[in-house]
Chains A and B, each alone.
Chain A
């Protein structure tokens, strides 16, 4: 039962254009969402987060949008740069008994073409 889904395994975007990575979830109780970026042979690194009380969070070139009714979040990267080429994971969690235990999607491999 995949509670967090990233239906696009890969995405190619031209440098300077917008990259949009999508993520869907099934559990309406999730209240915190994260995006991670992963380069080969490295651990995932935290990128941006959003709580369920917001519908948008922005950090430089990265913006995360949350649509709770659709159980959908997306990560926008504008403008895309070749260094953004990596695998992006979304993760969702529900605060429970003093812990956030994140469930991750399968990832989307982004390739930014120079």
Chain B
């Protein structure tokens, strides 16, 4: 596609439920990143995929968070047993190389609200 596509754009879920957020990167981009932005905070790194290499999961805040990237393209971020502090905008980004000097292309994000 022309840009990074994320779905859903908005998600309201009850505390304790599991949610899946989807990211469709730009075709041909080998690197894919997940960030989140909580209210009043900057963009917090969560996880990074590069080709077939093992993902960098160093930013995942707890073991309730996981992500996978199938076939080097679409990625799914899963949050199990959601908590209210998980409420945030979850942003996916992709890049042609490993970050490079023109940064990432971000999607519009998924706004997650846990009630």
Contacts and interface: CB of A to CB of B under 8 A. Distances in A.
Interface stretch (A45-53, A69-77, A78-86): A45-53
A64 interface: no
Contacts of A43: 4, 91, 93, 105-109
A99 B58 CA distance: 13
A104 B43 contact: yes
Contacts of B45: 101-103
B99 A32 contact: yes
B99 A41 contact: no
Interface string A54-96: 0000000000000000000000000000000000010101010
Contact of A42 (B42, B99, B108): B108
A99 B108 contact: no
Interface residues of A, number: 28
A99 B50 contact: yes
A91 B102 CA distance: 12
A104 B89 CA distance: 15
Contacts of B93: 43
B48 A99 contact: yes
Interface in B31-71: 31, 33, 35, 40-45, 48, 50, 56
Given A41-B108, A43-B4, A43-B107, A101 B48 contact: yes
B45 to A, nearest CB: 6
B98 interface: yes
B42 A105 contact: yes
Interface string A1-43: 0101010000000000000000000000000101010000111
B16 interface: no
A98 B42 contact: no
A25 to B, nearest CB: 12
Interface of B: 4, 31, 33, 35, 40-45, 48, 50, 56, 91, 93, 98-109
Interface of A: 2, 4, 6, 32, 34, 36, 41-46, 49, 51, 89, 91, 93, 95, 98-107
